Structure 1
Protein backbone atom coordinates (compact mmCIF):
# COMPACT_ATOMS: atom_id res chain seq x y z
CA UNK A 1 0.00 0.00 0.00
CA UNK A 2 1.21 3.49 -0.81
CA UNK A 3 0.26 6.76 0.84
CA UNK A 4 0.76 10.50 0.78
CA UNK A 5 0.05 12.83 3.68
CA UNK A 6 -1.84 16.02 2.77
CA UNK A 7 -1.95 18.67 5.53
CA UNK A 8 -5.34 20.40 5.36
CA UNK A 9 -7.30 23.13 7.19
CA UNK A 10 -5.84 25.85 9.44
CA UNK A 11 -5.25 23.09 12.01
CA UNK A 12 -2.73 21.36 9.66
CA UNK A 13 -4.60 18.07 9.94
CA UNK A 14 -2.89 15.10 8.32
CA UNK A 15 -5.34 13.91 5.70
CA UNK A 16 -3.97 10.75 4.06
CA UNK A 17 -4.45 9.54 0.51
CA UNK A 18 -3.81 5.78 0.53
CA UNK A 19 -3.87 3.53 -2.49
CA UNK A 20 -3.39 0.06 -3.89
CA UNK A 21 -0.38 0.19 -6.26
CA UNK A 22 -1.72 -2.69 -8.33
CA UNK A 23 -5.19 -1.28 -9.07
CA UNK A 24 -4.54 2.45 -8.47
CA UNK A 25 -7.74 2.55 -6.42
CA UNK A 26 -7.53 5.01 -3.53
CA UNK A 27 -9.19 6.12 -0.31
CA UNK A 28 -9.02 9.52 1.33
CA UNK A 29 -8.70 9.30 5.11
CA UNK A 30 -10.08 12.29 7.04
CA UNK A 31 -10.86 14.92 4.37
CA UNK A 32 -11.19 17.87 6.70
CA UNK A 33 -10.99 20.51 3.98
CA UNK A 34 -8.83 21.93 1.18
CA UNK A 35 -10.24 19.49 -1.37
CA UNK A 36 -8.16 21.07 -4.12
CA UNK A 37 -5.00 19.78 -2.40
CA UNK A 38 -6.49 16.30 -2.07
CA UNK A 39 -7.66 16.25 -5.68
CA UNK A 40 -4.18 17.30 -6.79
CA UNK A 41 -2.65 14.21 -5.15
CA UNK A 42 -5.22 11.94 -6.78
CA UNK A 43 -4.49 13.44 -10.20
CA UNK A 44 -0.70 13.44 -9.78
CA UNK A 45 -0.63 9.71 -9.04
CA UNK A 46 -3.36 8.79 -11.53
CA UNK A 47 -5.63 7.39 -8.83
CA UNK A 48 -9.28 6.36 -8.90
CA UNK A 49 -11.01 7.39 -5.68
CA UNK A 50 -12.96 4.46 -4.28
CA UNK A 51 -14.12 5.66 -0.85
CA UNK A 52 -13.67 7.98 2.11
CA UNK A 53 -12.48 6.63 5.45
CA UNK A 54 -12.95 8.52 8.72
CA UNK A 55 -11.13 8.08 12.03
CA UNK A 56 -13.51 10.44 13.84
CA UNK A 57 -15.84 13.33 13.20
CA UNK A 58 -14.15 16.47 14.45
CA UNK A 59 -14.36 19.35 11.97
CA UNK A 60 -10.70 19.29 10.90
CA UNK A 61 -10.97 15.59 10.04
CA UNK A 62 -14.49 15.36 8.61
CA UNK A 63 -15.48 18.87 7.51
CA UNK A 64 -15.32 18.27 3.75
CA UNK A 65 -16.52 14.66 3.80
CA UNK A 66 -19.94 15.23 2.27
CA UNK A 67 -18.62 17.64 -0.36
CA UNK A 68 -16.03 15.09 -1.49
CA UNK A 69 -18.54 12.22 -1.40
CA UNK A 70 -20.96 14.21 -3.59
CA UNK A 71 -18.30 15.41 -6.01
CA UNK A 72 -16.77 11.99 -6.54
CA UNK A 73 -19.87 9.82 -5.94
CA UNK A 74 -18.06 7.64 -3.40
CA UNK A 75 -19.11 6.00 -0.16
CA UNK A 76 -18.15 6.99 3.36
CA UNK A 77 -16.90 4.33 5.80
CA UNK A 78 -16.41 5.17 9.47
CA UNK A 79 -16.15 6.27 12.10
CA UNK A 80 -17.80 4.20 14.86
CA UNK A 81 -21.44 5.06 15.48
CA UNK A 82 -20.59 6.59 18.87
CA UNK A 83 -19.36 9.65 16.92
CA UNK A 84 -22.74 10.31 15.33
CA UNK A 85 -23.36 13.29 17.62
CA UNK A 86 -20.13 14.87 16.35
CA UNK A 87 -21.31 14.45 12.74
CA UNK A 88 -24.61 16.10 13.63
CA UNK A 89 -22.73 19.05 15.12
CA UNK A 90 -20.46 19.68 12.10
CA UNK A 91 -22.30 22.89 11.08
CA UNK A 92 -21.88 24.27 14.62
CA UNK A 93 -18.24 23.15 14.71
CA UNK A 94 -17.54 24.97 11.43
CA UNK A 95 -19.05 28.19 12.79
CA UNK A 96 -17.16 27.90 16.07
CA UNK A 97 -13.76 27.51 14.42
CA UNK A 98 -14.33 29.71 11.38
CA UNK A 99 -14.24 26.84 8.89
CA UNK A 100 -16.21 26.70 5.63
CA UNK A 101 -19.73 25.41 6.27
CA UNK A 102 -19.63 21.66 6.85
CA UNK A 103 -22.52 19.42 5.82
CA UNK A 104 -24.05 16.71 7.94
CA UNK A 105 -23.80 13.23 6.43
CA UNK A 106 -24.62 9.63 7.25
CA UNK A 107 -21.80 7.15 6.68
CA UNK A 108 -22.62 4.34 4.28
CA UNK A 109 -20.97 2.04 6.80
CA UNK A 110 -20.32 2.54 10.48
CA UNK A 111 -17.16 0.77 11.61
CA UNK A 112 -16.53 -1.33 14.71
CA UNK A 113 -13.64 -3.07 16.40
CA UNK A 114 -12.45 -6.02 14.34
CA UNK A 115 -13.94 -4.80 11.06
CA UNK A 116 -11.89 -4.58 7.89
CA UNK A 117 -11.91 -2.03 5.07
CA UNK A 118 -10.52 -2.52 1.60
CA UNK A 119 -8.79 -0.18 -0.83
CA UNK A 120 -8.36 -1.90 -4.16
CA UNK A 121 -6.74 -5.22 -3.23
CA UNK A 122 -5.35 -3.90 0.06
CA UNK A 123 -7.04 -4.65 3.40
CA UNK A 124 -6.82 -2.62 6.59
CA UNK A 125 -7.96 -3.72 10.04
CA UNK A 126 -10.19 -1.45 12.12
CA UNK A 127 -9.59 -0.87 15.82
CA UNK A 128 -12.10 1.03 17.95
CA UNK A 129 -9.96 3.37 20.09
CA UNK A 130 -12.21 5.69 22.12
CA UNK A 131 -11.01 8.41 24.46
CA UNK A 132 -10.41 11.44 22.24
CA UNK A 133 -13.91 10.87 20.89
CA UNK A 134 -16.14 7.92 21.79
CA UNK A 135 -16.33 6.67 18.21
CA UNK A 136 -12.70 7.07 17.16
CA UNK A 137 -11.24 4.27 15.03
CA UNK A 138 -7.72 3.45 13.84
CA UNK A 139 -6.80 1.85 10.50
CA UNK A 140 -3.95 -0.68 10.45
CA UNK A 141 -2.30 -2.09 7.33
CA UNK A 142 -0.44 -5.14 8.61
CA UNK A 143 1.69 -5.92 5.50
CA UNK A 144 3.34 -2.49 5.54
CA UNK A 145 3.27 -2.13 9.36
CA UNK A 146 1.47 1.20 9.09
CA UNK A 147 -1.29 2.60 11.32
CA UNK A 148 -3.39 5.70 10.67
CA UNK A 149 -4.28 6.75 14.19
CA UNK A 150 -6.08 10.09 13.86
CA UNK A 151 -5.98 12.01 17.15
CA UNK A 152 -5.39 9.02 19.44
CA UNK A 153 -1.60 9.31 19.53
CA UNK A 154 1.01 11.85 18.39
CA UNK A 155 4.79 12.01 18.35
CA UNK A 156 5.46 12.85 21.99
CA UNK A 157 1.83 13.41 22.98
CA UNK A 158 -1.72 12.04 22.96
CA UNK A 159 -5.12 13.33 21.89
CA UNK A 160 -7.05 15.89 23.89
CA UNK A 161 -9.77 14.52 26.15
CA UNK A 162 -11.45 17.76 27.24
CA UNK A 163 -14.07 17.64 24.48
CA UNK A 164 -17.61 16.29 25.10
CA UNK A 165 -17.49 12.54 25.81
CA UNK A 166 -13.71 12.52 25.84
CA UNK A 167 -12.03 10.51 28.60
CA UNK A 168 -8.34 10.45 29.50
CA UNK A 169 -8.28 7.01 31.15
CA UNK A 170 -10.17 5.49 28.22
CA UNK A 171 -7.69 7.01 25.76
CA UNK A 172 -4.66 5.65 27.65
CA UNK A 173 -6.32 2.22 27.76
CA UNK A 174 -7.01 2.36 24.00
CA UNK A 175 -3.37 3.11 23.27
CA UNK A 176 -1.94 0.46 25.55
CA UNK A 177 -4.41 -2.35 24.83
CA UNK A 178 -5.22 -1.74 21.16
CA UNK A 179 -2.14 -0.09 19.62
CA UNK A 180 0.86 -1.47 21.49
CA UNK A 181 -0.03 -5.14 20.79
CA UNK A 182 0.28 -4.42 17.05
CA UNK A 183 4.05 -4.30 17.51
CA UNK A 184 6.88 -1.88 18.23
CA UNK A 185 7.86 -1.87 14.56
CA UNK A 186 4.60 -0.17 13.52
CA UNK A 187 4.98 3.34 12.07
CA UNK A 188 1.99 5.63 12.43
CA UNK A 189 0.47 8.66 10.76
CA UNK A 190 -1.03 10.89 13.45
CA UNK A 191 -3.78 13.43 12.91
CA UNK A 192 -1.28 16.27 13.35
CA UNK A 193 2.48 16.60 13.28
CA UNK A 194 5.24 14.21 12.19
CA UNK A 195 5.06 10.46 11.88
CA UNK A 196 6.57 8.27 14.58
CA UNK A 197 6.67 4.61 15.65
CA UNK A 198 5.11 2.74 18.53
CA UNK A 199 8.61 1.83 19.72
CA UNK A 200 9.61 5.49 19.93
CA UNK A 201 6.45 6.44 21.83
CA UNK A 202 6.77 3.53 24.26
CA UNK A 203 10.29 4.75 24.99
CA UNK A 204 9.85 8.49 25.37
CA UNK A 205 6.22 9.67 25.17
CA UNK A 206 5.55 11.20 28.63
CA UNK A 207 1.91 10.10 28.60
CA UNK A 208 2.21 6.44 27.60
CA UNK A 209 5.86 5.38 27.90
CA UNK A 210 6.46 1.97 29.47
Structure 2
Protein backbone atom coordinates (compact mmCIF):
# COMPACT_ATOMS: atom_id res chain seq x y z
CA UNK A 1 0.00 0.00 0.00
CA UNK A 2 1.28 3.41 -0.95
CA UNK A 3 -1.03 5.32 1.40
CA UNK A 4 -0.91 5.12 5.17
CA UNK A 5 -3.26 6.76 7.62
CA UNK A 6 -3.76 7.40 11.30
CA UNK A 7 -7.15 8.26 12.78
CA UNK A 8 -7.18 10.87 15.56
CA UNK A 9 -10.61 11.42 17.17
CA UNK A 10 -11.14 15.11 18.01
CA UNK A 11 -13.70 17.29 19.80
CA UNK A 12 -16.53 16.19 22.04
CA UNK A 13 -18.13 14.61 18.99
CA UNK A 14 -15.16 12.20 18.58
CA UNK A 15 -14.84 13.17 14.93
CA UNK A 16 -12.35 11.03 13.03
CA UNK A 17 -9.65 13.37 11.76
CA UNK A 18 -7.25 11.43 9.56
CA UNK A 19 -3.57 12.01 8.95
CA UNK A 20 -3.02 10.51 5.49
CA UNK A 21 0.39 10.18 3.90
CA UNK A 22 2.30 8.67 1.00
CA UNK A 23 4.54 5.99 2.46
CA UNK A 24 7.24 6.67 -0.13
CA UNK A 25 7.52 10.45 0.17
CA UNK A 26 5.94 11.12 3.61
CA UNK A 27 3.89 13.90 2.03
CA UNK A 28 0.74 14.14 4.16
CA UNK A 29 -2.69 15.73 4.45
CA UNK A 30 -5.00 16.34 7.36
CA UNK A 31 -8.55 15.27 6.50
CA UNK A 32 -11.28 17.07 8.48
CA UNK A 33 -9.32 18.71 11.34
CA UNK A 34 -12.33 19.47 13.52
CA UNK A 35 -10.42 20.69 16.56
CA UNK A 36 -7.89 19.68 19.25
CA UNK A 37 -5.14 20.99 16.98
CA UNK A 38 -2.38 20.55 19.58
CA UNK A 39 -3.26 16.84 19.67
CA UNK A 40 -3.08 16.66 15.88
CA UNK A 41 0.26 18.46 15.71
CA UNK A 42 1.72 16.14 18.34
CA UNK A 43 0.64 13.08 16.34
CA UNK A 44 2.03 14.55 13.11
CA UNK A 45 5.34 15.09 14.86
CA UNK A 46 5.32 11.53 16.18
CA UNK A 47 4.72 10.17 12.70
CA UNK A 48 7.42 12.33 11.13
CA UNK A 49 5.31 13.24 8.11
CA UNK A 50 5.15 16.51 6.17
CA UNK A 51 1.72 18.18 6.08
CA UNK A 52 1.22 19.81 2.68
CA UNK A 53 -2.56 20.34 2.60
CA UNK A 54 -5.83 20.23 4.50
CA UNK A 55 -8.73 18.34 2.93
CA UNK A 56 -12.35 18.94 3.97
CA UNK A 57 -15.24 16.59 3.21
CA UNK A 58 -17.97 19.05 4.24
CA UNK A 59 -18.65 22.22 6.19
CA UNK A 60 -19.87 21.05 9.59
CA UNK A 61 -18.08 22.47 12.60
CA UNK A 62 -16.85 19.18 14.06
CA UNK A 63 -15.04 18.51 10.77
CA UNK A 64 -13.61 21.97 10.08
CA UNK A 65 -13.28 23.75 13.44
CA UNK A 66 -9.47 23.50 13.58
CA UNK A 67 -8.88 24.30 9.93
CA UNK A 68 -7.64 27.87 10.23
CA UNK A 69 -5.30 26.99 13.08
CA UNK A 70 -3.85 24.13 11.05
CA UNK A 71 -3.58 26.27 7.92
CA UNK A 72 -1.63 28.83 9.92
CA UNK A 73 0.55 26.28 11.71
CA UNK A 74 1.72 24.57 8.51
CA UNK A 75 1.23 27.36 5.94
CA UNK A 76 -0.67 24.98 3.67
CA UNK A 77 -3.71 25.31 1.42
CA UNK A 78 -7.19 24.21 2.43
CA UNK A 79 -8.90 22.13 -0.26
CA UNK A 80 -12.61 21.29 -0.32
CA UNK A 81 -15.43 20.77 0.12
CA UNK A 82 -17.65 21.37 -2.93
CA UNK A 83 -18.85 24.98 -3.19
CA UNK A 84 -22.46 24.24 -2.23
CA UNK A 85 -21.21 23.94 1.37
CA UNK A 86 -20.02 27.56 1.42
CA UNK A 87 -23.05 28.55 3.48
CA UNK A 88 -22.00 26.11 6.21
CA UNK A 89 -18.51 27.61 6.40
CA UNK A 90 -19.99 31.10 6.60
CA UNK A 91 -22.29 29.93 9.40
CA UNK A 92 -19.48 28.68 11.64
CA UNK A 93 -20.12 31.27 14.40
CA UNK A 94 -23.75 30.13 14.58
CA UNK A 95 -22.67 26.49 14.56
CA UNK A 96 -20.28 27.27 17.43
CA UNK A 97 -23.12 28.71 19.50
CA UNK A 98 -25.44 25.84 18.64
CA UNK A 99 -23.03 23.11 19.73
CA UNK A 100 -21.31 24.93 22.59
CA UNK A 101 -17.92 25.17 20.87
CA UNK A 102 -15.49 28.06 21.15
CA UNK A 103 -16.31 30.66 18.49
CA UNK A 104 -15.03 29.63 15.06
CA UNK A 105 -14.76 32.36 12.44
CA UNK A 106 -16.00 31.91 8.86
CA UNK A 107 -13.44 31.05 6.19
CA UNK A 108 -13.19 29.98 2.58
CA UNK A 109 -10.95 27.20 1.31
CA UNK A 110 -8.12 27.95 -1.08
CA UNK A 111 -9.75 25.58 -3.56
CA UNK A 112 -13.27 24.25 -3.90
CA UNK A 113 -13.55 20.68 -5.15
CA UNK A 114 -15.68 19.28 -7.95
CA UNK A 115 -16.77 15.77 -8.82
CA UNK A 116 -13.98 14.02 -10.70
CA UNK A 117 -11.15 16.18 -9.38
CA UNK A 118 -7.93 14.46 -8.36
CA UNK A 119 -5.71 15.35 -5.41
CA UNK A 120 -2.07 14.33 -5.44
CA UNK A 121 -0.39 13.21 -2.24
CA UNK A 122 3.20 12.24 -2.94
CA UNK A 123 2.99 9.35 -5.40
CA UNK A 124 -0.65 8.66 -4.58
CA UNK A 125 -3.87 10.11 -5.95
CA UNK A 126 -7.21 10.70 -4.26
CA UNK A 127 -10.25 10.91 -6.51
CA UNK A 128 -13.02 13.33 -5.53
CA UNK A 129 -16.64 12.16 -5.61
CA UNK A 130 -19.42 14.67 -4.96
CA UNK A 131 -21.83 12.94 -2.54
CA UNK A 132 -24.66 15.29 -1.52
CA UNK A 133 -27.39 14.40 0.93
CA UNK A 134 -25.90 14.99 4.38
CA UNK A 135 -24.84 18.40 3.11
CA UNK A 136 -25.17 19.65 -0.49
CA UNK A 137 -21.44 20.10 -1.00
CA UNK A 138 -20.17 16.94 0.68
CA UNK A 139 -17.31 15.10 -1.05
CA UNK A 140 -15.73 11.68 -0.58
CA UNK A 141 -12.01 11.08 -1.19
CA UNK A 142 -11.07 7.72 -2.71
CA UNK A 143 -7.77 5.96 -3.35
CA UNK A 144 -8.69 3.25 -5.83
CA UNK A 145 -5.11 1.91 -5.76
CA UNK A 146 -5.19 1.39 -2.01
CA UNK A 147 -8.90 0.56 -1.78
CA UNK A 148 -9.51 3.31 0.79
CA UNK A 149 -12.18 6.00 1.04
CA UNK A 150 -12.69 8.92 3.41
CA UNK A 151 -16.46 9.35 3.47
CA UNK A 152 -17.06 12.05 6.09
CA UNK A 153 -20.63 11.81 7.37
CA UNK A 154 -22.19 10.13 4.32
CA UNK A 155 -21.87 6.52 5.54
CA UNK A 156 -21.06 4.88 8.86
CA UNK A 157 -20.51 1.35 10.09
CA UNK A 158 -24.15 0.26 10.36
CA UNK A 159 -25.70 3.66 9.75
CA UNK A 160 -25.85 6.71 7.46
CA UNK A 161 -25.50 10.46 7.86
CA UNK A 162 -28.22 12.72 9.21
CA UNK A 163 -30.35 14.56 6.69
CA UNK A 164 -32.32 16.87 9.00
CA UNK A 165 -29.88 19.77 8.70
CA UNK A 166 -30.51 22.65 6.25
CA UNK A 167 -30.31 21.44 2.64
CA UNK A 168 -29.96 17.82 3.70
CA UNK A 169 -31.99 15.27 1.76
CA UNK A 170 -32.52 11.60 2.60
CA UNK A 171 -33.24 10.33 -0.91
CA UNK A 172 -30.20 12.18 -2.26
CA UNK A 173 -27.99 10.67 0.44
CA UNK A 174 -29.17 7.12 -0.31
CA UNK A 175 -28.53 7.73 -4.00
CA UNK A 176 -25.01 9.01 -3.27
CA UNK A 177 -24.21 5.86 -1.30
CA UNK A 178 -25.77 3.30 -3.62
CA UNK A 179 -24.97 4.89 -6.98
CA UNK A 180 -21.64 6.60 -6.35
CA UNK A 181 -19.88 4.70 -3.54
CA UNK A 182 -20.98 1.07 -3.71
CA UNK A 183 -20.07 0.69 -7.42
CA UNK A 184 -16.45 1.41 -6.45
CA UNK A 185 -16.21 -2.11 -5.07
CA UNK A 186 -17.05 -4.24 -2.04
CA UNK A 187 -13.45 -4.43 -0.86
CA UNK A 188 -12.96 -0.71 -0.31
CA UNK A 189 -12.35 0.12 3.34
CA UNK A 190 -13.91 3.41 4.35
CA UNK A 191 -12.99 5.79 7.14
CA UNK A 192 -16.17 7.48 8.38
CA UNK A 193 -16.45 10.80 10.15
CA UNK A 194 -17.35 9.03 13.40
CA UNK A 195 -16.98 5.50 14.70
CA UNK A 196 -15.19 2.43 13.38
CA UNK A 197 -14.12 1.70 9.82
CA UNK A 198 -15.93 -0.79 7.60
CA UNK A 199 -16.08 -1.87 3.96
CA UNK A 200 -18.62 -1.05 1.30
CA UNK A 201 -19.31 -4.78 0.96
CA UNK A 202 -20.07 -5.12 4.66
CA UNK A 203 -22.53 -2.21 4.51
CA UNK A 204 -24.22 -3.66 1.43
CA UNK A 205 -24.81 -6.84 3.41
CA UNK A 206 -25.58 -5.53 6.87
CA UNK A 207 -26.42 -1.81 6.98
CA UNK A 208 -30.20 -1.57 7.50
CA UNK A 209 -30.40 1.77 5.68
CA UNK A 210 -28.63 0.80 2.45
CA UNK A 211 -28.32 -3.00 2.35
CA UNK A 212 -29.13 -4.57 -1.00
CA UNK A 213 -29.37 -8.00 -2.56
CA UNK A 214 -25.62 -8.35 -2.81
CA UNK A 215 -24.61 -11.87 -3.84
CA UNK A 216 -22.44 -13.73 -1.36
CA UNK A 217 -19.47 -15.35 -3.06
Report the TM-score range of the alignment, normalised by the length of the smaller protein: over 0.9
What are structure 2's unaligned runs of at least 5 residues? 213-217
Deviation at 1:41, TM superposition (A): 1.5
**1:70 matched to which residue of 2?**
72
TM-score of the superposed pair, with normalisation by structure 1:
0.98
Aligned match for 2:173, one of 165, 171, 174:
171
Q: C-alpha distance in 2, partners of 1:48/1:101?
A: 29
**2:51 matched to which residue of 1?**
49
- Cα contact 1:125–1:141 (8 A) shared by 2: yes
Runs of 4+ in 1 over 4 A off after TM superposition: none
**1:79 matched to which residue of 2?**
81
CA deviation vs aligned residue, 1:27-69 (integer Å, no higher than 9, x gap): 0000000001111121011111100000001000011111111
Q: Which is worse superposed, 10-19 or 68-77? A: 68-77
**2:112 matched to which residue of 1?**
110
Deviation at 1:17, TM superposition (A): 0.4
Aligned match for 2:155, one of 147, 153, 156:
153
What are structure 1's unaligned runs of at least 5 residues? none
TM-score of the superposed pair, with normalisation by structure 2:
0.95
Which secondary structure does the structure 1 equivalent of 2:145 belong to? Answer: helix
Deviation at 1:103, TM superposition (A): 2.2
RMSD: 0.7
CA deviation vs aligned residue, 1:83-114 (integer Å, no higher than 9, x gap): 00000001111121111221211111100110
CA deviation vs aligned residue, 1:132-178 (integer Å, no higher than 9, x gap): 00000000011110000000000000000000000000000000111
